[in-house]
Structure 1
Amino acid sequence: MGQHASIVMNDREPISLEIIYKHIDYYKGITAKTGEQLGWEYSETAFPYEICQEHERLLILRSVQPGFNHIYIGIIQSEDESAEAVQIYLPASSAHGDKGKANELCKFLAKKMKGELHLFNGKVMRFT
């Protein structure tokens, strides 16, 4: 059985996969730049995924590197139906590395979108 984390967007403009994709692209860029500054090829390690959009409300991050498999990112209604939420889902086939990368990505996205992050372990972080 998989695990999920979510970023609830209370009283914000509607969120779209395009916005999430832009944030992920920015994340890839800044991690690559960190590697350049350190003189190390860090971009492949920092973000070992290829982004695929197979549905209008779902991004799939796929990796061919050892230790990584899949992360799904989708847009859903929050549990109380009052706001939209970004859900980050790790299927049962996800590797330990996927969970670490998903945690990093969740925190980054929640901070950029100023949302309320419900982590995989149930803890809540607010970025307002």
Structure 2
Amino acid sequence: MASNALIKLVPKSDQQDITLEELKGLFHYYKEITAKTGQQLGWNYDYSAFPYEIHNVVDAKQEMFYLKGTNNKYFAMILKIGKETILDEETEETKEQTYIQLILPNGATNGDKGKANEFCKFIAKKLAGELHLFNGRVMYFYKR
């Protein structure tokens, strides 16, 4: 059964909306900084830190892309950007809130789940979002 985690861009987040290209840019930045860490350690850490290839979904009606594993320890994960309607508690009006959904499809490995948790925390921290983990727990990365 597929499982998913959500990163919600709440009103106190650094930004209220994100595009697919910006999200892909965060993954490229992640690869870049882990490569620099590897250079400092004298080890090819970027390959171990990001064992995926980024692929676009063709003919998708939703904004999404997927990460395909490059070895047998990692299968895949899907990233999707969506919007939900929420009720603003202060003004009691409805408004749209953007979220990033990370989906582990059937066949995902334990390695995928570990990397997905790592990526979710990285993205939520960079965007100062609200992270809803696979196990239902919530982590807050914005100032409260």
TM-score normalized with structure 1 length: 0.93
Question: Using the alignment, how far apart are the partners of 1:87 and 1:65 within structure 2?
Answer: 24
Contact 2:74–2:109, Cα closer than 8 Å, also in 1: yes
Post-superposition, which runs of at least 4 consecutive aligned residues in structure 1 deviate over 3 A?
78-82
Question: Using the alignment, how far apart are the partners of 2:85 and 2:74 within structure 1?
Answer: 29
| Corresponding residue number in structure 1 for 2:103 | 89
- Matched pairs, number: 128
Q: Larger Cα Rg: Structure 1 or Structure 2?
A: 2
Question: Using the alignment, how far apart are the partners of 1:113 and 1:59 within structure 2?
Answer: 19
Q: Percent identity at matched positions? A: 44
Q: In 2 relative to 1, CA 102–79 (structure 1 residues): closer, same or farther, beyond 3 Å?
A: farther
Deviations 1:11-48 (A, max 9, x none): 34321111111111100111111111100111111100
After superposing the two structures, state which structure 1 stretch, 79-88 or 7-16, moved more. 79-88
Which stretches in structure 2 are left out of the alignment for 5+ residues? 87-94
Which stretches in structure 1 are left out of the alignment for 5+ residues? none
TM-score normalized with structure 2 length: 0.83
Are 1:100 and 2:103 counterparts?
A: no
After superposing the two structures, state which structure 1 stretch, 95-104 or 78-87, moved more. 78-87
Instruction: Indicate the RMSD between aligned Cα atoms, in angstroms.
Output: 1.5
| Corresponding residue number in structure 1 for 2:130 | 116
